[in-house]
Amino acid sequence: MKSLIDMRNGAKIDGTNYKLLLKHIRLNVTDKYEFPPEIIKVNGTTVATLGNFSASTGKPKSKKTFNVSALVASALSGKEVLKYKTILPQGKERILYVDTEQSKCHCHKVMQRIMKLAGLPVDKEDDRILFFVLREYTPEQRREIISCALQEEENIGLVIIDGIRDLIHDINSPGESLNIINELMRWSSYYEMHIHTVLHQNKGDDNTRGHIGTELNNKAETILQVSKNAENPNISEVRAVHIRDKEFQPFAFEINEDALPQLVNNYKFTKTKEKISSYADMSNEQHLEALECAFKNKQSMGYQELLDSLKTGYASIGYARGRNTIVKLCKFLSNINVLIKEEQGYIFDKEPLCSGSSLV
């Protein structure tokens, strides 16, 4: 008979071991379940619980790793670091930190930063944190190393995977993305711990990269976004873009002269424009603003120039998209006679936008 562990690792389930599984997977209305321990909070809002996973996202160089360092430092010290208050329950005090991108030299800086933030010595090993550098390994080997560590190491309550993208080959593969997300769910549930991952956002918008980003958004307990302040790139802002608990008040940090993140007190957040999901959902006024920007000082333009100008114009109102979407947008605007093709090129007719009637 296959063990429960074997079945969770993908062994075939037949009638015999189905009966073994039944007592573990069936939910009864008369059963009583305790809510999973809340281990990470921000201003009283629960960000992470045992048995779940979360993620930090942001564009390259937005200081995502500095943000995660503060989270880990709070777990080691039991104190509030930046705005994170992390308390690991008894018997789950150890942390596994996995970096898939950086060299040992750079990872060593991250580890020292964590220890300094936690107020711990950097000349003495602390058994509560286990730091793996997996840059030189294949995606399959990285997953196997993590899996083996979770089986062999005891008292792991928090796992950081800085670079979940590097656990798969193709970031846009639905199959690979679903498999690794299922692995996160299995690991976190079976070993009763929390996994926090790091994933880049697209350069052109605020969406997490690839199909794996879509799966993360759908399945994660919390998605944190780390972004640079538009006017002061030395300041990074942290907010929850997806969270099961109530949203917390965003906070901001900067890097001090000791190369450590520190909270920016009394920071004033500027109100961000509401995200636009589709050009078909835009108001006439939004289209007008974007097209006036695109056709600024131009009467007509050829097709490629038009696409480039549309991309710039619509990005100015917060709708930054790639070529394929801009091509579809161009066709949409042509069909409603806002863009008209003439011998000299495409011209812009604002009349349909000023009529007051809906474009769709």
- Residue pLDDT, tens place only, 173-194: 999 999 999 999 999 999 999 9
pLDDT tens-place string over residues 78-126: 999 999 999 999 999 999 999 999 999 999 999 999 999 999 999 999 9
The pLDDT value given to residue 110 = 96
The pLDDT value given to residue 87 = 94
The pLDDT value given to residue 271 = 58
**Lowest mean per-residue pLDDT among 66-70, 248-252, 318-322:** 318-322
Q: How far is CA 165 from the centre of its chain?
A: 11
Class in CATH terms, 38-263: alpha beta
The pLDDT value given to residue 45 = 93
The pLDDT value given to residue 2 = 42
Give percent of the chain above pLDDT 90. Answer: 65
Q: How confident is the model at residue 357 (pLDDT cuts 50, 70, 90)?
A: low
Decide if pLDDT at 46 tops 50: yes
The pLDDT value given to residue 9 = 55
The pLDDT value given to residue 356 = 58
Q: How confident is the model at residue 76 (pLDDT cuts 50, 70, 90)?
A: very high
Q: How confident is the model at residue 8 (pLDDT cuts 50, 70, 90)?
A: low
The pLDDT value given to residue 273 = 53
Decide if pLDDT at 6 tops 60: no
Higher pLDDT pick, 172 / 355:
172
DSSP tally for the chain: helices H, then strands E: 11, 16
Task: Please state, rounded to an integer, the average pLDDT across all residues of the chain.
Answer: 88
With vertex at residue 259, the alpha carbon angle to CA 58 and CA 243, rounded to the nearest 5 degrees, is 30
Give the Cα separation of 21 and 344 in Å (integer).
Answer: 71
Give the Cα separation of 108 and 70 in Å (integer).
Answer: 15
The pLDDT value given to residue 144 = 96
Higher pLDDT pick, 24 / 147:
147
Give the Cα separation of 348 and 330 in Å (integer).
Answer: 11
Higher pLDDT pick, 354 / 346:
346
Work out the average pLDDT over 136-164.
96
Map 88-140 to HEC letters: CCCCCCEEEEEECCCCHHHHHHHHHHHHHHCCCCCCCCCCCEEEEECCCCCHH
pLDDT tens-place string over residues 253-308: 999 999 999 999 888 876 555 567 788 888 888 899 999 999 988 889 999 999 99
Q: Where in the chain is the domain with CATH 3.40.50.300?
A: 38-263
Give the Cα separation of 43 and 52 in Å (integer).
Answer: 20
Q: How many CB atoms lie within 10 A of CB 141?
A: 12
Confirm or reject CATH 3.30.1370 for domain 279-354, answering yes or no: no
The pLDDT value given to residue 3 = 46
Q: How confident is the model at residue 229 (pLDDT cuts 50, 70, 90)?
A: confident
